[in-house]
Amino acid sequence: PQSKLPALGTNIFSQMSALAQKHNAINLSQGFPDFDGPEYLRQRLSVHVAEGSNQYAPMTGTAALRNAIVDKTEQAYGYRPDAETDITITSGATEALYIAITALVSPGDEVISFDPSYDCYAPAVQLAGGVSKRIQLLPPEFRVDWSKLADQITDRTKVIIINTPHNPTATAWSEQDVERLWQIVAERNIFVISDEVYEHICFAQDGHASVLRHPQLRQRAITVSSFGKTFHMTGWRVGYCQAPAAISAELRKIHQFLTFAITTPVQLALADMLREHPEHWQALPEFYQAKRDRLAQGLAKSRLKVLPSEGTYFLLVDYSEVSDLDDVAFCQWLVEHVGVAAIPLSVFCADPFPHKLIRLCFAKKEATLDAAAERLCQL
Ligand code: PMP
Ligand code: GLN
């Protein structure tokens, strides 16, 4: 058939994980923990399976899970969404982002996102017939240039996609950033898709600046979350989005025929976990900060320069003292000759990104982080 996405190959995460396996390397590339999620959560899944909760869940998600999310949202952001109309359980954040983009974008609509940007936004925009306008953020700070953003807005701008804490740069927005964004969209008919999958892995002093804290902006936004990140269960493929009723109604039409509903006993186990163990997500910044610091300290004596990580489970390192190779070639070399798999940043950019930066995932056991640091110190 004629390809609808001719420029696209297998994504970088699958490629690098396959290379890590081939070369028996330590895999700090694809973002996933090498430790298991909470025992209570795994036990609750067994219980719900054994008790026979194995038929279709409601299309929008089980009431137990949607209600637990409402309570968690209130605890985290001081805002109570409506469980019936606002929350839709999806197959990971990936499905949530796809249905959000598909619901909002029509042929010819322009969608603004910030590069380096997570890889699933642009293909969904393209399939919807939209036009991606990608604004590059510049290292080492990767801060949004608000006047540049304002300059990119036209009558056709339909959506701005934001992501905080940000994959792959590990930067996080402040509440002032959210307010700046509101000032730009307030007078225009522009929607915001806010990818907040790392909402509970934020090390910023004031915590995570969720769009859900902003009373006006949240009326215009679809906010996306992922249990894969929060409960160390990327393989369970459960996420959700929250949006005002009128927007949710549209994205649910797509969800209804894409996946219809998400695995019932998994939803029930997640609801139990949210209700019974709020301390899990509340302690996540501390849990991951220790891992971040361990890897950073392990690299302190290396020739790699570690950039600050304000959130996510990623750390950027600058390898310009070590090699002149571009980032893709350097990652290939690294996995083959040093036995560590990492992710190049240029693959997340539409325009050339000539910086010598790679991304390392620290969602790993201490022993894994120490072994990787030891290898990287030999560079
Ligand atoms: N957005 C970002 C920024 C991510 O890093 C990820 C996961 N790597 C996703 C979305 C997708 O999350 P999920 O695994 O829940 O589909
Ligand atoms: N989000 C993960 C990362 O950034 C990977 C997700 C995937 O492999 N699709 O590494």
- For ligand 2, is residue 31 a contact (CB within 6 Å)? yes
CA of 120 to the centre of ligand 1 (A): 9
Ligand 2 atom with minimal separation from the 31 CA:
10
**Bridge-partner residues for 113, per DSSP?**
134
Structural domains of the chain sorted by starting position, each given as residue range(s) with its CATH number in brackets: 12-30+283-377 (3.90.1150.10), 39-276 (3.40.640.10)
CA of 149 to the centre of ligand 2 (A): 27
CA of 168 to the centre of ligand 2 (A): 10
pLDDT tens series, the chain, 379 aa: 999 999 898 889 999 999 999 999 999 999 999 999 999 999 999 999 999 999 999 999 999 999 999 999 999 999 999 999 999 999 999 999 999 999 999 999 999 999 999 999 999 999 999 999 999 999 999 999 999 999 999 999 999 999 999 999 999 999 999 999 999 999 999 999 999 999 999 999 999 999 999 999 999 999 999 999 999 999 999 999 999 999 999 999 999 999 999 999 999 999 999 999 999 999 999 999 999 999 999 999 999 999 999 999 999 999 999 999 999 999 999 999 999 999 999 999 999 999 999 999 999 999 999 999 999 999 9
Ligand 1 proximal residues by C-beta, below 6 Å: 31, 92-94, 118, 163, 167, 195, 197, 226, 228, 234, 239
Task: Provide CB contacts within 8 A for 88, sequence distance 6+.
Answer: 60, 61, 96, 99, 240, 241, 242, 248, 251, 252, 255
CA of 119 to the centre of ligand 1 (A): 9
With a cut of 0.85, is the ipTM above it? Answer: yes
CA of 337 to the centre of ligand 1 (A): 29
pLDDT at residue number 221: 98
Ligand 2 atom with minimal separation from the 197 CA:
1
- For ligand 2, is residue 167 a contact (CB within 6 Å)? yes
CA of 67 to the centre of ligand 1 (A): 23
CB 349 within 8 A of CB 115: yes
- For ligand 2, is residue 13 a contact (CB within 6 Å)? yes
In this structure, which residue's CA is closest to atom 2 in ligand 2?
Answer: 31
Q: Which two tokens stand for residue 336?
A: 């083959």
100 alpha carbon, closest ligand: 1
pLDDT at residue number 276: 98
In this structure, which residue's CA is closest to atom 3 in ligand 2?
Answer: 31
User: How far is the CA of 22 from the CAs of 25, 325, 335, 363, in angstroms?
Assistant: 8, 22, 9, 21
